[in-house]
Amino acid sequence: MRLRGRKGIREDIERQKELVVLNAKDYKGKWAELFGNNNPIHAELGMGKGRFISEMSKKYPNINFIGVDMYDELIRKASEKAKVAHEITVETEEDAVLSIPNLRLMLFNIEHIEEAFAEGELERVYLNFSDPWPKKKHARRRLTHPGFVAKYQQILNAKGEIHLKTDSQSLFEFSLNSFADMGLRMRNISLNLHVDGIHPDHVMTEYETKFAGQGMNIHRCEVVIGQEALSTHQEQLKQAAASALAAESKESAE
């Protein structure tokens, strides 16, 4: 997605100091301080126009959300969407900088994400409809390339997870292989999310609305990164297996 900067956009986002972070590197290791609490931090990498991150921040006030994108215009659009989602009415120039306590929009290139977050500073990374970069020679630019995933591993904490959604079958295949090659555990894999049945709390992104509306399959998976998340997942699997065995032996006894 390429957008040419429009005069005034930079000034507009610069004015929104409470919501927009232009100097993300300065907050490395200090995001909890910026939010003023130790709630988990979830980041959407490549948020586009920001519908997902706005709605998530409204729905889950006890989680801190950061929407990351590299274009001024998208940060501005996302800030407008956030204010609508949070029902902030902008009456004057000054009001435009009103803060949303659990949301920040960060202008940043994900290629250098480890320069913006310290080790274990995030609890979840959302990759929603990331650019598929279909040409093989561009594989390194895909946000699920092992080079990127290694950076996410570094900045995610013990409960860390990556949640991926995409319409692109080729990106999905590439991503699953990438995660598997890195020895990572995947769960809740869906090749057709909207047919498998979406959870009532499911929040759609702009691209998801468009592609699902066109009848395209939406692929999704969760990747368990942190040790604590992995232990919880393994415990859940053990319990599910034990209940299945118990049900089976009860059935055969009857």
Ligand X SMILES: C[S@@+](CC[C@H](N)C(=O)[O-])C[C@H]1O[C@@H](n2cnc3c(N)ncnc32)[C@H](O)[C@@H]1O
Spot the catalytic one: 26, 72, 95, 131.
131
How far does Cα 155 stand from its chain's mean position? 13
Instruction: Pick between residue 73 and residue 226 the one whose CB is nearest to ligand X.
Output: 73
Q: At its nearest, how many Å lie between ligand X and the CB of residue 245?
A: 41
- Please give the radius of gyration of the chain, using alpha carbons only, rounded to the nearest integer: 20
- Is 131 one of the catalytic residues? yes
Residue with tokens 């940060």: 75
Instruction: Pick between residue 102 and residue 128 the one whose CB is nearest to ligand X.
Output: 128
- The span from the CA of 12 to the CA of 212, in Å, is 33
**Which of 142, 56, 71 lies closest to 103 in space, CA to CA?**
56
**Which of 47, 38, 62, 32 lies closest to 1 in space, CA to CA?**
47
Residues annotated in the binding site for substrate, as ranges? 135, 167, 205-208
Instruction: Pick between residue 2 and residue 199 the one whose CB is nearest to ligand X.
Output: 2
Instruction: Pick between residue 121 and residue 208 the one whose CB is nearest to ligand X.
Output: 208
- Residues of the shown chain interacting with ligand X in the complex, contacts defined by CB under 6 A: 1, 46-48, 68-71, 74, 109-111, 128-131, 205-208
69 Cβ contact list (under 8 Å, min separation 6): 46, 47, 48, 75, 78, 105, 106, 107, 108
The token pair that represents 101 in the structure block: 């306590």
According to DSSP, the residues that pair with 220 across neighbouring strands are 165, 190
Q: At its nearest, how many Å lie between ligand X and the CB of residue 82?
A: 14
Q: At its nearest, how many Å lie between ligand X and the CB of residue 3?
A: 8
Residue with tokens 């040409």: 135
Q: At its nearest, how many Å lie between ligand X and the CB of residue 240?
A: 31
The token pair that represents 6 in the structure block: 């429009």
Residue 163 burial (10 A CB sphere; 0-12, 13-18, 19+): middle
Q: At its nearest, how many Å lie between ligand X and the CB of residue 211?
A: 9
Instruction: Pick between residue 1 and residue 241 the one whose CB is nearest to ligand X.
Output: 1
Which residues are annotated as catalytic?
131
